[in-house]
Amino acid sequence: MKRRVIFFLLFCLFLAGCKQSINQSRDALPTSTGSIKITGAYALFPLTLVWVKEFHKTHPNILIRVEANGSGGGMEDVLNDKTNLAMMSNDIPASLEAQLFITPVARLGVVVIVNKKNPYLEKILKQGITRDNLMALFANKNPKTWGELFETERKDPVKVYDRADSSGAKKILARYLWMQPGAIQGMAVYGEDKMVEAVKKDPLALGYCNFSATFDLKTKAFYTDFCILPLDINQNGTMDPKESYYDQVDHLQRAMWLGKYPCPLCRDLFYVSKGKPTTPEVIEYLKWVLTEGQKNVSSEGYVELHSSDIETGLKAISE
């Protein structure tokens, strides 16, 4: 049974006669005592917790309950009227779209990772790896050794690790490699933390994870015991200047936002409700996430929406 992570934020009522902040807008609902329940994707859970904490600063009386139970759990909850909003990190089934109100709120990139003690690291960072070679490695079809990949006489095997659980990151990697998720093969690990730990312990490892798992959120520095494997997008055997954005967290984040990093490796994250929201608290929260909430996105390892996406979302909520 999957562990369910539950986080409660219970907000106390203002004392009678307490002054409201002058700069609060009239539609900020500062004295509302309504509630919101949000369940669903683990991938969106950390950012949602940050958003709820910040939202509380201007909406102190709203009770918000956030529960991570996976995209499937969130979808089941929202369809059965057990939650106001479902956090989703997977594509919405076309058969359900007519029943749902879908609001993109952020994006999250997937990266391929290797151990920092890999004996071929210098060549890896200089040459990168092509999609064709990644496809062969993750599909276990004509797999090459590290030596064959980077033209040395050594025959060290590439030890591929794969998520054995239901993983949005796996689906996104498979999409980039033109594969079905089930076709990806490797030594099985459960959960993103276990994937990262496996790569950290094995100098010959090849794995994948969400971008947000590769750096310290406080220092904005990449972790030192594993690193992101650069992608040779034009497959010319070297990392050209236009492909060289792996040196700093903000550089790679910017490349993801601009589309320089392969778009198929970045997925939209959504809030989903059953039908268009009608409760003032939910409407206000969604509007806040698309405006003030976007300030928290990059600092938590996600990728901000483009202004056109924000405008579209706000228009759909307001109509």
Residues 129 and 183 in one domain: yes
Distance CA 68, CA 74 (A): 8
**196 and 222 share a domain?**
yes
Among 264, 280, 303, the domain-final residue is: 264
Tell whether the model's pLDDT for residue 103 goes beyond 80. yes
Q: Which helix (H) or strand (E) holds 206?
A: strand 205-210
CA dist., res. 262 & res. 109, Å (int): 9
Distance of CA 8 to the CA centre of its chain: 22
The more confident residue out of 70 and 112 is 112
Q: Are residues 53 and 120 in the same domain?
A: no
| CATH assignment of the domain containing 179 | 3.40.190.10
Tokens of 243: 């492909």
- Tokens, residue 9: 């934020």
140 and 251 assigned to the same domain: yes
Structure tokens at 40: 């669903």
Q: Is the pLDDT of residue 30 over 80?
A: no
129, 233: one domain: yes
Last residue of a domain, which of 219, 244, 264?
A: 264
Banded model confidence at residue 31, pLDDT cuts 50, 70, 90: low
* Per-residue pLDDT at 14: 31
Judgement on whether residues 221 and 171 belong to the same structural domain of the protein:
yes
- Asked whether the predicted pLDDT for residue 12 surpasses 70, the reply is no
- Domain endpoint, select from 264, 280, 301: 264
Domain that holds residue 306: 5-108+266-318
Whether 16 and 147 share a structural domain: no
Task: Tell me the two tokens of residue 233.
Answer: 């997008």
* Mean pLDDT score, 179-207: 93
Mean of the per-residue pLDDT values for the chain?
A: 87
Asked if 229 and 306 sit in the same domain, the reply is: no
Do 182 and 65 fall into the same domain?
Answer: no
- pLDDT for the residue numbered 259: 93
Q: How many domains are contained in the chain?
A: 2
**pTM for the predicted model, two decimal places:** 0.80
SS3 state of residue 182: helix
Say if residue 117 is in the same domain as residue 257.
yes
Are 69 and 184 contained in the same domain? no
pLDDT > 90 in the chain, percent: 70
- For 37-58, what is each residue's pLDDT tens digit? 999 988 899 999 999 999 999 9
Note whether 260 and 114 are same-domain residues.
yes
Residues 6+ apart with CB under 8 A from 206: 112, 113, 114, 137, 158, 159, 160, 161, 186, 199, 229
